[in-house]
Structures are given as structure tokens and as C-alpha cells.
Amino acid sequence: MEDTIEFELPDVGEGVAEGEIVAWHVESGEHVSENQTVVEVETDKAVVDIPSPVDGAVRSRLAEEGEQVPVGETIITFERDGPETSADAGDSETGTRESADDGTVAPSIDGVATDRTEACSQNGRVFARPSVRRLARKTGVDLAAVSETSGLQVTRRDVLAAASDGVATAEHTSVDAVEETDHGVDVDRSASSGNTAAEESPADRDRTLAMPATRKRARELGVPLDDVSTDETCDGHAFVGPEALESFVAARKHERAERDQHAEPVSDRPERRIPYTGVRRTIGERMEQSMYTAPQVSHHDTVDASELVETRQQLEPEAADQGVDLTYLPFVMKACVAALEAYPVLNAELDEDNGEIIEKRYYNLGVATDTDAGLMVPVVEDVDRKNLLEIASDVQSVVERARDRSISRTEMENGTFTVTNIGAIGGQFGTPILNYPEVGILALGALAERPRVVDGEVVPRPVLPISLTSDHRVVDGSDAARFTNELKRYLENPSLLLLE
């Protein structure tokens, strides 16, 4: 005996509402073991491996790679192994397609065979996953009256939105809304009435049916299914199969190629479109929140880093013997803690709801890190309790894991102050945006020899440019200047850090 397991996208981190399917590691019909990775999911901060909850066979995958899926949505179903199930479950009929009466393969939904006649027999129902239907029943929402915002199916978000507005009524449903049956056939309602069978001219239709995979492919290609000619029918309506769609696309390409041969080129400069999703979208949203929430002001200064350079050169061989790459960043972080202890208003957060400024007596410093996925800010905790080599080792560890996307979400939370090194790429000064809700962020410019006046003479000295951005609701300009002066005092006299 086998039983079907519906596996919902779990809450992989506090505050995560949805995840993007990055890559599937299993196919329909494949046998899996408990805790075997079946899919990679990208949240707003990290890529997470999701394991199988059971031993069994994959029945169907219910989300496509690149699709954003809400937490709690069913993404895959399994047939759990029973006492008589062998490890060869990949050959079970759950992973194969059934043959139609005419010997052809019946349409398949994510690997689950579905006879077209059966699929078309219930197109009066709205398509929604079982978890969504349970939520609708629990909240008293009429699924048939909920307008589908995704263009595919009613989701948890749709149901929750309808519940917050009161139980939806039938008049809310647009005649252009897209519905699906429980067997996965989409129904386009492009007219308010009528039930005419498909004809040669697409303009004569009242409905166009297609399997979800075909409809998804059409969206990717930018092809309205109503424009695709077909002589196939399903329950009296036009049915567009994958062959008809690809034939239509090929014909369009041929027509366009013929037209382009005789047209003047508009431009020889192409465009590249990159999906604004995942980490990149989260970064944008948080930067927007920061800029439109906190009035931000930047303060700039320079540090004579002569002694800092000399001290690092003296300590570098010892650090290397311990396998630690000692950069200037640990010195800066240690100096930041000393300055934050002197001016705790920079190590704070504004609690607007309670009308309080929270000065924190712990020092968790974020390190802004440039990664292939965008800017990430891993946090080194308790910097005040660590020596330079411990800080350097921790920085190296979290930065590497941020760049290879193996860092956990919790390691990028609970920061109290952030340091970003723009000088590693180039440049001197900047106006870094706060890592909200923190009230301070320090940017380091490129450390290089620059002319300085020393004892009345212009001489070359190693100079470190610094830029401090602060939340002006909490931090006055005088506080920012005093903090910067204290920071400079420690960086220009790094031996003082031995006392911290």
C-alpha cells in the first residue's frame, strides 16, 4: 500500500513569506530517500536545500523553476513507500504517462497522466491546490468568486486577501479571469457568454483551453493562446496543444525573418532583461525602505594611517602562521566598537511604535559583501569580546559563505552597526545607505599614499578616507563628528586597541 504525501514549502526562515524555485533535483517517478535534497529554494537572503520528508516516489512537481511560491503552498507530492514497495519505485506508474485509446500519449501534468476528456469534464471549477481549498473553507471564502491574480490559479495570498475584505461574491469575478480545473486545464473566458466549438479562425472562439505547461510556455514566448489556430477541441472548445503552439511560433519567426530581410535595422545595440527577483529585489526593497524612512546624512573625513599600516605589517606574519588573512578591516571594526562605546547613540535603533531610542550594549557588526547575487551583509557577533585575529577569522568565514550562498539567514540578522569597504573596488568617499533599522554605517575608501601637511611640509602619507552615514532622527551632526574623531584616534594610534 502507498499513500500520497503533499509537501508544502516550509518556513525556511523567520519572516520569509515566499521562495523562488531555483532547481529541482528529482524528476516525476523518481524514487527518493528521506532527507534527500529534492529542490533548491531561494529566499530573500539565501539558497536553501529542501529535503524529502519520506522514503518513496515523486508523484508530481507542482512548481516550475523560477516560480515564486508562497510558504505553505504544496510544491511536490510523494507516494510514500509501503511494506511491499521496492527501491525501484521510479518504475511505478506514478512517474509514467498513460496511453489514450488511440495509442497516443495522454496530456501530462508535471508527470501525472491525465486523459484529456477527463481533464475537460469539470471546467466549471476553479483550480486551487488542496491546501488553498482548506484555507478557503476555514476562512469562509468562495473560491469561485476570487479573482486569480497570478493568471494560473487561486493562491493562499488571494484567499487571505479575500478574507481580509470579507467573503468574496460572484460579481467580483472578471469575465477575463483565468480558471483551471482540478485536472489542470486552463479556461480563458474571453466572452461573457457562449459555448461554441473551436473553428479555424481564433477570433470566433469564446474559450481557449490548454494544459498548464503549454500556457506557461505561451507566456514565456509572449504568445496569446487565443491567437493560435488549432483544429483540436476539448469539451466543445478550442484546445491548443504544444505542437500547435510551437508551429504558430515557428510561423511567426519565419514571417518576422522575411520581414526583417527587407527592413532597415532600427538599432545594433541589444538589451538584456534580468529578472528582478530573489536577493536583488530584497536589496532594492530594503534600500527603498531605508531611504524613505530615515533622513540620512553623511560625514566625511580622512585618517593618517601611517601607524596602522606599520602595525599590520608587523602582525601579518603571525596571522599568516595561524592561517588568518589579516586585512585592515578587523582594525577598523575594533576601532568602531571603541568609538561606539564612547558614543552609543550610533549603536542604536529607533522604536517608532513605542517612541524610544534603543541603545544597544552589544556590538554585532555587519560586513557589507559584494556577491554574485547582490549586496549581502553577514554579521560578526560580539566584536567587543574578540581579538584582532578572531575578528579577522570570523570576517573571512562569513564573507566566504555569503559569496557561495551557504550562509544561514540568522547569520545576517541582529546587526547593530555596518561597515562597507568601497575602497576595495576603488574610490575615496561615498554616501552609504543605512542598513535599516541600524542608525549608522561606515564606508572605507581606498587606502593610498596622498599628500599631507606634516610639520609645515607636504609629504606623502598613507591616508584612509572614511564616510559615516547616520539617521538624523537619532544622531545629531555633532554626534557623528565626535564619533568620527574617536574612530580616527584609534586608527591613528592602533596600539590603543590593545587596551580594548
Q: Which residues are catalytic?
A: 472
First to last CA, the chain: 67
DSSP character at residue 151: S
Place of cell 542598513: 435
3-state SS class at 125: coil
Residues 447 and 423: beta-carbon distance below 8 Å: yes
What's CA 303's distance to the chain center, in Å? 38
Which segments of 115-268 does DSSP mark as H helices, in order? 116-119, 130-139, 156-164, 212-221, 242-261
Residues 131 and 147: beta-carbon distance below 8 Å: no
Question: Hey, how many other C-beta atoms are within 10 angstroms of the C-beta on 497?
Answer: 19
> How far is 150 from 132, CA to CA, in rounded Å?
14
Amino acid letter, residue 490: Y
> How far is 388 from 330, CA to CA, in rounded Å?
6
Nine-digit cell at 189? 473566458
> How far is 358 from 457, CA to CA, in rounded Å?
46
> How far is 305 from 326, CA to CA, in rounded Å?
16
> How far is 418 from 377, CA to CA, in rounded Å?
8
3-state SS class at 76: strand
> How far is 350 from 294, CA to CA, in rounded Å?
10
Q: CA 476 → CA 277, 365, 479, distances in Å?
A: 36, 21, 5
Question: Hey, how many other C-beta atoms are within 10 angstroms of the C-beta on 471?
Answer: 25
Residues 331 and 491: beta-carbon distance below 8 Å: yes
Beta bridge pairs of residue 442: 419, 468
Give buried/exposed letters for 295-330 (b at 16+ CB in 10 A, else e): ebebbebbbbbeebbebbeebeeebeeeebebbbbb
Nine-digit cell at 103? 495509442
> How far is 366 from 378, CA to CA, in rounded Å?
6
Residues 239 and 198: beta-carbon distance below 8 Å: yes
Nearest C-alpha neighbor of 393 from the set 325, 328, 329: 325
Residues 240 and 209: beta-carbon distance below 8 Å: yes
